[in-house]
Every structure is written in structure tokens, then in C-alpha cells.
Amino acid sequence: MNRLKELREDKDLYQKDVAKILNMSQTGYSQYETETNDIPIEILKKLADYYNTSIDYLLYRTDERKPYKKSIINK
């Protein structure tokens, strides 16, 4: 299963709910879940923060769902 879909369903959300959070259309968001379109970095950051995970998890670069510690540079 797609990780975005899994994370969304774990929170009992619909695609339209996540699309609203990202200020975009449901159709646009759906294309991220189906991997029809690449996800821009800013959207990846928002999704990782919202789901409390890492961008690496969203991109299948790790199976560790737990987020990394925040960088002191961003504080």
C-alpha cells in the first residue's frame, strides 16, 4: 500500500481532507498518492510534519516511521 494512503487512513481522513490541509485540490493530492505526479519538496515537508514522520519514510528510503530530531538550524 502507498505510504501516503496508509498514513491518511490511519488518521481516518479522506483525500479531500489532506488536500484541504495542503491548500490544493483533491485531484492534485490523489496524483501524489497514486504516484502519478512527483511531490514538491515543500509539500513533502508539510506532509512529514503533519504525519510526524520523515520525508525519507514518505519516499521509501527508510522503514522507520519515527521522525528525526529537528535541526537546530530551523529553530
**Cell 514538491, residue located:** 40
pTM: 0.86
Q: Print pLDDT tens along the chain (75 aa).
A: 599 999 999 999 999 999 999 999 999 999 999 999 999 999 999 999 999 999 999 999 999 888 877 776 765
pLDDT score recorded for residue 65: 87
What are 26's three cell numbers?
A: 483533491
Amino acid identity of residue 12, one-letter, is D
Cα angle vertex 61, ends 75, 41, to 5°? Answer: 50
